[in-house]
Structure 1
Amino acid sequence: MPHPGWAAFSFEGIGTAWEISTPGPLDTGHRRRLLDVVEDYDAAWSRFRTDSLVARAAREAGRYQMPDGAGALGSLYRSLYRLSAGAMTPLIGGSLEQLGYDADYSLRSRGTPLPAPPWDDVLDWQDTVLTTTAPVVLDVGAAGKGQLADLLAAELRSQGVSEHFIDASGDLLNSGPAPVAVGLEHPYDPGRAIGTISLGAGALCASAANRRAWGDGLHHVLDGTTGTPVRTVIATWALAGNAMTADALATALFFVSGKELEQDFEFSWLTVFSDGSAAYSAGFEGVLFE
């Protein structure tokens, strides 16, 4: 519990565990509206259910009206697609399926890695409207969990719950003002920490090669230009003013240096490389253990 004495509302959503902590317990109506936010997001963006908008786009080309917030998500992805030279892309879904991270969780590679299609060849993303020229498997997992955390926070504020702490399986959003001490999970040993950080108002999101890993060195962070897992980075953390940005930048750090990303985004960061070295921003608020 981030704050002693606070009440917790726990649930499953978009395939992961959530816990929302508030000074007092949320009533049934408040909880129902929060779960509706989760369901609406899943119904639009999930590639693991057959009735979602993303599943329809995987079956046929067309024009798809996405929910509010899609414009901000698309703009963020487009910026990171450019900065990573196509390595970070929302069109990575087919590449993940090729390696076994599919709707059935088969976790069996289908053969040679499959690069993602070039954005401008198949996708036009204008605000909340997606137009595709061919069936495409979209996967917005690199930023979607963070965006959903932001949407849940907005719903809480609309209910008059200004103080809250959201834990989306380790991706954290703190309304503030009281800071919360957070351990930074060791990338090779989830039971240990490599450091700590004090999270004030804002978001802390992480990405690691040991999460959602399977097979012979396969994991979920793929380079869109090759369809293969990134090998040089094993874990990243990003702190930003909102969870969508922090979530996306935690993945972007697998492809682009933090110093380069700082030219376009206001955030702090930590990257741990596969050779055991680490790099972090001048403004990184954490403490790393020896």
Structure 2
Amino acid sequence: MADFAGATCAPVTLAVVVLPIPHSLRINIDTVPKTSIHRGFTLNSLQGKTAHHNPHPEPPSPQPSAGSTMRAMTGLAERLPHVAAFPEALGTGLLLHTDVALDDGLSNCIDMFISTYEAALSRFKDDSTVGRMRTATHGGTFDFPDWALGLFGLYDQLFASTNGTIDPCVGEDLIRLGYDESYSFTPAPDAAEHAGAIHGRAVWSADVERHGTTLITHSPVALDFGACGKGYLVDLLAGMLGDGAGHPQPIQYVIDAGGDLLVHTDEPITIALEDPADPANAVGTVEISHGAFCASSPSRRHWSDAAGHQLHHLLNAIDGLPVDDVAATWVAVTPPSSAITTKTSTHGSNASTTANRDTDDSSNTVAAHVPVTLADGLATALFTTPATQLRAHFPFECAILNANRTAAQSPNFPGGFFYTLMYEIISITSSGAFPRVDRWVAPPQSATLTAPLGEGSRV
């Protein structure tokens, strides 16, 4: 997947079901048998707390305390007994579950690369390359590492496929809204008057000239790669596992970056879908054995302005304001079986061996080589862009929980909502009407892993 020679160490229809999810019908994760569930990985956020004015979440821990709401991950712990924790990664932490122990050299290499990654892409570091772009009065030429090519390429595709609603130049809007490098969460008084492309903020396609991994600007530009950056790190680390694990057989692993998961196991992992209204509850489950699974929600990273309006980090880049009609999204991307350990220096030069007929070759290549990056970006894009529009460009499955507690899912989503409705594969009509469906089914009620809803990371 990744070539680390230059790194520190080496028109589609969407079948849906729309349903209200009453609070009385949600499943409490704590009622699931204690031997079959793992409650995510951030202790603080999974104890019912939000990230409201909490820029420093507790680091992940492979050994949850007895008093926390986490439960022993017996099933997964037996299958993947070795856990490497990187508690400072991107400000949210990262856990690597493997079936064989990683040698110290590889663990150190991963740790060093995480630092290298942040030194290039973090907008919270003044001395990062992104930080220098933000403070360059007259712009300049900024060279990023070769491994950043895949990230920039996907942002090109997301910008085009969302008509500009996903744009890394949204960093300026986040800063104006208070999500700045000091985590002030204090919006500028005139934030709304200057937010978004409609008010003249820089845009990725016009104000950032890209030549491979070199970005050229002519004025200060505040980039934020948070929509895809955490997922991209996971993909690059998976490449390191394939390249440097040093074992005769491919290792099994789960990389857990707090809402962004990459699963590579012989048997499926059951993942609970966290309820954005209550982290102690799940609204459904999925089963994944090979591929990426990412979640996004404003539930863990939100704050208020002086007038009491709720703000969060999931913005529409056109107007620069938080999206308020979506509560949570979940995206699954399944690459070809060989793609997890396939090396490529461009993250886009080797064509996928399995093509989705509804998408072009380049998007299938992205899914093959950077599946978590794609899932991460799409989980954000679903806040601003209809799923049918995105599925015309990318191969993925998704589930969406709207702010009004209605939900939708694509036909091959690898799971479903609890107490959902039986439905047939019926296309969304051009008017957006949905068929009437009224037959209830009972959900499975166990999970080995929770997909915590993502919060803002340090990129």
TM-score tier, shorter chain, comes to over 0.9
Question: How many angstroms does 1:3 deviate by?
Answer: 2.2
Give 5+ residue unaligned stretches, structure 1.
none
How many residue pairs are counted as aligned between the two chains? 290
Residue in 2 that maps onto 1:230: 323
Residue in 1 that maps onto 2:416: 287
User: Is 2:85 aligned against 1:4?
Assistant: no
Residue in 2 that maps onto 1:54: 130
Query: Given the alignment, which residue of 205, 210, 217 partners 1:120?
Result: 205
Residue in 2 that maps onto 1:67: 145
Residue in 2 that maps onto 1:148: 233
8 Å CA contact 1:197–1:287 kept in 2: the answer is yes
Question: Could you say which structure has the greater relative contact order, defined with CA pairs below 8 angstroms and 6 or more residues apart?
Answer: 2
Per the alignment, in what secondary structure is the counterpart of residue 205 of structure 2?
helix
Residue in 2 that maps onto 1:218: 311
CA distance in 1, matches of 2:206, 2:374: 26
Sequence identity, in percent?
37
Deviation per residue, 1:240-290 (Å, 9 max, x gap): 131101100100111111121111111100111112111111111112112
Residue in 1 that maps onto 2:383: 254
AA partner of residue 392 (structure 2): Q
8 Å CA contact 1:72–1:127 kept in 2: the answer is no
Query: Given the alignment, which residue of 19, 41, 58 partners 2:95?
Result: 19
Residue in 2 that maps onto 1:183: 272
8 Å CA contact 2:259–2:296 kept in 1: the answer is no
**Normalised TM-score (structure 1):** 0.96
Residue in 2 that maps onto 1:164: 253
**Normalised TM-score (structure 2):** 0.61
AA partner of residue 139 (structure 1): D
Per the alignment, in what secondary structure is the counterpart of residue 51 of structure 1?
coil
After superposition, the CA RMSD in angstroms is 1.4
Give 5+ residue unaligned stretches, structure 2.
1-72, 336-370, 420-459
User: Is 2:185 aligned against 1:96?
Assistant: no
Residue in 2 that maps onto 1:273: 402
Deviation per residue, 1:76-117 (Å, 9 max, x gap): 112211222211101011100000000000000012231142
Residue in 2 that maps onto 1:78: 156
CA distance in 1, matches of 2:148, 2:219: 20
CA distance in 2, matches of 1:119, 1:246: 20
Question: How many angstroms does 1:140 deviate by?
Answer: 0.5
- Structure 1 runs, 4 residues or longer, greater than 6 Å off: none
